[in-house]
Structures are given as structure tokens and as C-alpha cells.
Amino acid sequence: MPELVSLGPKPPAAAPANAGPRRTVFVHTFGCQMNESDSQRMVELLGQAAWSPVSLPEEADLILVNTCAVREKAEQKLLSALGRYREHKARRGTVIAVAGCVAQAEKERLLKRVPYVDFVFGPDHLAELPGMVARAARERFAETGWMDSEEYLFPRADPEAARGRATAFVTAMKGCDNVCSFCIVPHTRGREVSRPAAEVVEECRRLAEVGVREVTLIGQNVNSYRGGCDFATLLRRVAALEGVARIRFTTSHPHDLSDALVEAFRDEPKVMPHFHLPVQSGSDPVLARMRRDYTVAGYLERFDRLLAARPGIAITTDFIAGFPGETEEDFEASVRLLARARFDNSFSFVYSPRPHTGAVRRLGSAPEWAEVPREVAVARLERLQAVQRRLSAEALASRLGSDVEVLVEGPGDEEGWRRGRTPHNHLVHFAASEARAPAGALLPVRVTRAGGSSLSGELR
């Protein structure tokens, strides 16, 4: 049930936070695509209540900081961002709110710790945002209770706000029922709840109607989706929509990579040939301590099935370096796995002890849970990333001279350039006017240069 925490009436603000006919909001987003999507929904919801987004915090009547708790560093970044926003509050009475996973984990503690934060709310309360902003004029509060599956209303994308965009996120599920010992997400996002398939498909249809060509279905553990059908069936239902040209999804757990999902990759060309499949470690004992419920051999078996079903598919992953008890040998196994799988890209981080997790409770309790010294973990991370940089550069270089279909997303970094993505999710820059390459167009581009993290080319 929702949990209500009020810290009493507010002292008067220096200036009215909602002065002017149309008020302004600045959103600062940390973390994953789930957070990016939630931030978009917040802007859309406030847009319906006469709020306009601005790109500078000093111009905002409301600053929303949407947080991530996956790594300790993200929390430190939140505190330093809040420190910067304090002066705007002093100057123009800006209301400051904190959303997302840190808000959920810290609850009213955050209000006590940062006295100039006006309100705090967890991910399940996003739909109440306009009401909470009004309430913030009267009191400071934290809304961080869970919604169970019957109560929970998934935030809907506003198709009008997506008009003119090539891509959009569509929430398919939320929460996670796994108990990976390093991960705070089950504590901050709660149990899995899947959105009814009809609702997901209808949202995709309405987005396609306003010109969105690519939808990314999102959820913390999206391939365990159970909203009246399995995830593979959901993908096929979205693929059946005429205006949708490309489908992506994130993020997945290897144990939910079913045969049906592999077959969807084999049969459905609208499902893009890119799969983010986090492995976390190349060592079985480490995977067991992480509670990842697969072995390296089991992971590779799924990996090979995917490659066989969709030759050339780009598979990306996550690694953690320096997990408790990780030996040199365990780490070498991760490097070997990286070299064997030749991941298209990987996101790797030093292990960060998070509250409320199994690993932090056991840290240092036995030799196999020994803390890895930070300098050792950082050196391992750098080694892993150096190997990945080489592999990613080779993957990009292999596209040189080929023609790729690019979905145009918008302007490039330089005047007269546009940017878009290939089916394999590689960023491509090319020279063209907006008229020739409008957002949402699918255009052939000949790859003429491969950098470390993106391609450039010429329109065919």
C-alpha cells in the first residue's frame, strides 16, 4: 500500500514556485533506459498540466532529479547535483524533487539529509506527479510505497509528445523477481508486474500513427514478461503493426531466453539484430555467488543458439569486475569469455556494495566473500575494457564499405550532419540536410569510416 510520510508544513518559499502562465520544468536523469523513459513520462504528464520542459536548470520552476541506485557513485552524483540546484531554489524559489531508485531506497531520510529537497517519490508514484507538485506548495513529503499489481497503473506514453520523433520507449513490465546478490533493483523497483499485452500493443500502434518507427519495449527483466502472453508473442504482436518498422527491448536475463524468443529473432525481421544479454562474470563460482542461476557453459549455449538463429546479431553484455572473492583466475575467465564471445560491446563496472543486497551482507564473512582491493578491481576493469575497446572497434571496422539501413534520429554533432542507428544499434553520422534525411526516415548509408564507438558514411 502507498506509504505516506509528511515532514510537516513548509516554510514560505523565497518566491512563488509556479509564477507565470506556463511553468517550467528541468529533468536531470541518471541511470538506465528505464529512468530515461520514466523522465519522458514525467515531462509528458506535466505538459498536460501546463508545464514546459527547459534545458537549463536556472530557467526552471521545478527541478526533478530522477535517480539511479545501482552504484554508489550515482548517489554521490545526486548529492552533488542537488548542491548545485540549491542556489536556484534560493534565487527563484525553484521546487526540487527527487524521483527514482535513490528516492525509493532513501525515502524520508533523503528529506532529512537534504533540507532543501521539497519532495521525494518512488517509481510507482510517477502518475501522481502533477498532484504532488501542487501538494509541495504546502508541505514536504515522501511517497514511496509499493503499488501491488491490481493497483498499479503503468505510465502511458503520450503519442502527441512523440510526434516528430523516430523512436520511443514503451513500458512492458516493471520490477524484478530475481535476487542477484549485487543488485539493489528488487529493493527499489519491487516485484515484477507485467502490463497487459493489449495495452502495450495499443500504445505502440498510437506511437506508430504519429510517425514513430522504432519502439523499445522496456522493463527491468523484460523477457520474463507475462502480461497475458509470453514475451516472444508480445514481440510478434507488436511486429504485426503496420507502422512499426523496428523493435528493440531491454533488459534481459539469460534464464528467460526461451526457445520462443530465439525463434522470434529468427523469423521476425522487425525485431532488430541486437540483444543485450548481461553475463556479469566468466567464472562459475562467481556467478553462483552472484546468484545468477546459469553457468558460463549455459550462457554460451544460449549465446550460440541466438547466433545460429540470427547470424551476425550484435550481442552486448554487462560485466562486474572485483566482485567479492573474485580471484585472478576468476577474472581471467571473464577475459577469456569476452574474447570467445567477441561481444559487440559491453558495459563494465567495478563492484559497488549496495545496501539491502545479499553480497553486502556476506562481504568479508569468509575467504570466498573477501573484499577485492579497489586498486585491484580498477586494474581488472581497465584490462577488460581495453579488450572490449579492441573488439568493438573491430566490429565497427567490419562494416566499412557496406551499405547499412539507417533510421534517422535527428541532427548530428556538426552543422549539416544527421545521425541515426543501424539495425545492429550502431550510431552512424552522415552529411545530409534535414529535408533529405528527416527524423523517422529509413535510408541507405555507405559506411566510409569506423571510429571507436560510431560509424560515419555517405547517403546512397
Contact residues for ligand SF4, defined by CB under 6 A: 176, 178, 180, 183, 185-186, 220-221, 253
Beta-bridge partner residues of 317: 346
Query: Which of 29, 30, 26 is closest to 52 using CA atoms?
Result: 26
Alpha-carbon distance of 270 to 310, in angstroms, equals 12
Nearest CB to ligand SF4, comparing residues 99 and 183? 183
Least distance (Å) from ligand SF4 to the CB of residue 90? 38
CB of 80 to ligand SF4, least distance (A): 25
Smaller CB distance to ligand SF4: residue 40 or 221?
A: 221
> 36 — alpha (psi -120 to 50), left (phi > 0) or beta?
alpha
Q: Which residues of 308-320 are buried (b: 16+ CB within 10 A; e: fewer)?
A: ebbeebbbbbbbb
Q: Which three cell numbers stand for residue 150?
A: 491490481
CB of 429 to ligand SF4, least distance (A): 32
Please state the closest distance from residue 410 (CB atom) to ligand SF4, in A. Answer: 30
Toward ligand SF4, which CB reaches closer, 94 or 221?
221
* Least distance between ligand SF4 and beta carbon 221 (Å): 5
Smallest Cα–Cα separation from 431: which of 442, 420, 441? 420
HSE at residue 333, side-chain half, CA atoms within 13 A, is: 19
Q: How far is the CB of 34 from ligand SF4 (least distance, A)?
A: 10
The residue (of 256 and 263) whose beta carbon lies closer to ligand SF4 is 256
Q: Using alpha carbons, select from 249, 272, 241 the residue that is nearest to residue 405.
A: 272
CB 315 within 8 A of CB 277: yes
Report the nearest approach of ligand SF4 to the CB of residue 372 (Å).
Answer: 19
Q: How far apart are CA 129 and CA 139, in angstroms?
A: 15
Toward ligand SF4, which CB reaches closer, 185 or 314? 185
User: How many CB atoms within 10 Å of residue 237?
Assistant: 15
Residue 34 or 244 having the CB closest to ligand SF4: 34
Smallest gap, in angstroms, from Cβ of residue 172 to ligand SF4? 14
Q: Closest distance between ligand SF4 and the C-beta of residue 388, in Å?
A: 20
Q: Which is nearer to ligand SF4, 66 or 221 (CB)?
A: 221
**Which of 357/388 has CB closer to ligand SF4?**
357
Beta bridge partners of 455: 428, 450
- For ligand SF4, which is the closer residue by CB, 6 or 178? 178
Task: Give me the residue label for grid cell 509470453.
Answer: 230
Nearer to ligand SF4, 224 or 456 (CB): 224
Least distance in Å: CB of 253 to ligand SF4? 5
User: Taking the complex as a whole, how short is the minimal distance between the CB of residue 304 and ligand SF4, in angstroms?
Assistant: 22
CB of 290 to ligand SF4, least distance (A): 8
Nearer to ligand SF4, 221 or 250 (CB): 221
Closer residue to ligand SF4 in complex, CB, 219/227: 219
